[in-house]
């Protein structure tokens, strides 16, 4: 054994590389932190398990919504709070839109008043699409009321969510199966309705998340919203074009004359 060896109360003498050991201990402490789990980890089995629509992830000509989802789920969306915790420069964790709050994911997508109109517009569109879908399946008013109540709470920290905290911006939804009793429809119709309902809600949520983050990025980088002035081209006059054409034809005729 070396003359000096690091010692840890939990693991005893540290014989491996000290930097690797410290990183492992920090990662273990972070994973075991209750506050870390409650704010950063989404447990999928608590939420709706219907597959999302393929369009945004497979067929969309512009994949911005999918890119935002990728960065969200991998923890790489660069909010002010994320940059503050990861970098040692002069980054500040406060909301860039003037709120007296940390600019976390939840604040930007759920609480920030800058995007209240976006959220209200999305709820309005979701309710309209949902009511039209329920009318198609002739759903009874009590069941329809329960479903619309869930839709109204999608973007809020409300009791419709398993942990009373919305994660719509991850494309997650509260469980839909319990909203429609099995006796109300045939199995095929019920499954089809639930799938359509989940697809409508997922689409609205990921589009909203992309819209909000697009505005955040434009606020960070104003050059993204700067309009380029169109370039004015000076075209030659018709007389100049006619003269050029006539001279080119004369040259062509002159070139053909010797033969």
- The secondary structure of 218-240 as a DSSP string is HHH-GGGTPPPPPPPP-PPPHHH
Report whether 181 contacts 139 (CB < 8 A): no
pLDDT of residue 194: 95
Q: Report how far residue 209's alpha carbon sits from residue 213's, in angstroms, rounded to the nearest whole number.
A: 6
Structure-token pair, residue 229: 């002035």
pLDDT of residue 123: 97
pLDDT of residue 19: 76
Q: Which helix (H) or strand (E) holds 152?
A: helix 141-152
CA-CA distances (angstroms) from residue 33 to 22, 23, 29? 16, 15, 6
Question: Sign of torsion, CA 55 56 58 59?
Answer: positive
Please compute Rg for the chain using Cα positions.
Answer: 30
Burial of 10 (0-12, 13-18, 19+ CB in 10 A): exposed
Q: Which helix (H) or strand (E) holds 145?
A: helix 141-152
Question: Sign of torsion, CA 110 211 219 40?
Answer: positive
pLDDT of residue 230: 62
CA-CA distances (angstroms) from residue 241 to 235, 236, 245? 10, 7, 6
Burial of 99 (0-12, 13-18, 19+ CB in 10 A): middle
pLDDT of residue 2: 66
pTM for this entry: 0.71
**Which residues of the chain register pLDDT less than 50?**
31, 33-39, 249-257, 259
């Amino acid at each position: 054994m070396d003359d000096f060896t690091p010692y840890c109360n939990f693991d005893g003498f540290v014989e491996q590389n000290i930097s690797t050991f410290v990183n492992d201990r920090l990662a273990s402490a972070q994973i075991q932190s209750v506050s870390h789990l409650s704010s950063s980890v989404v447990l999928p089995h608590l939420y709706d398990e219907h597959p999302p629509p393929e369009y945004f992830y497979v067929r969309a000509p512009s994949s911005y919504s999918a890119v935002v989802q990728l960065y969200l789920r991998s923890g790489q969306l660069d909010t002010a709070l994320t940059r503050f915790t990861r970098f040692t420069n002069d980054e500040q964790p406060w909301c860039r839109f003037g709120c007296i709050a940390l600019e976390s994911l939840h604040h930007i997508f759920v609480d920030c008043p800058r995007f209240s109109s976006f959220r209200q517009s999305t709820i309005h569109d979701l309710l309209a699409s949902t009511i039209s879908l329920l009318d198609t399946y002739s759903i009874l008013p009590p069941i329809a009321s329960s479903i619309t109540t869930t839709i109204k709470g999608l973007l809020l920290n409300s009791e419709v969510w398993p942990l009373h905290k919305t994660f719509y911006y991850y494309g997650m939804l509260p469980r839909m199966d319990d909203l429609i009793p099995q006796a109300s429809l045939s199995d095929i119709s019920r499954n089809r309705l639930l799938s359509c309902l989940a697809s409508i809600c997922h689409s609205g949520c990921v589009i909203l998340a992309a819209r909000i983050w697009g505005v955040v990025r434009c606020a960070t980088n104003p050059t993204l919203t700067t309009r380029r002035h169109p370039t004015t081209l000076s075209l030659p006059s018709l007389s100049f074009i006619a003269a050029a054409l006539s001279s080119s034809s004369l040259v062509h005729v002159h070139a053909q004359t010797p033969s």
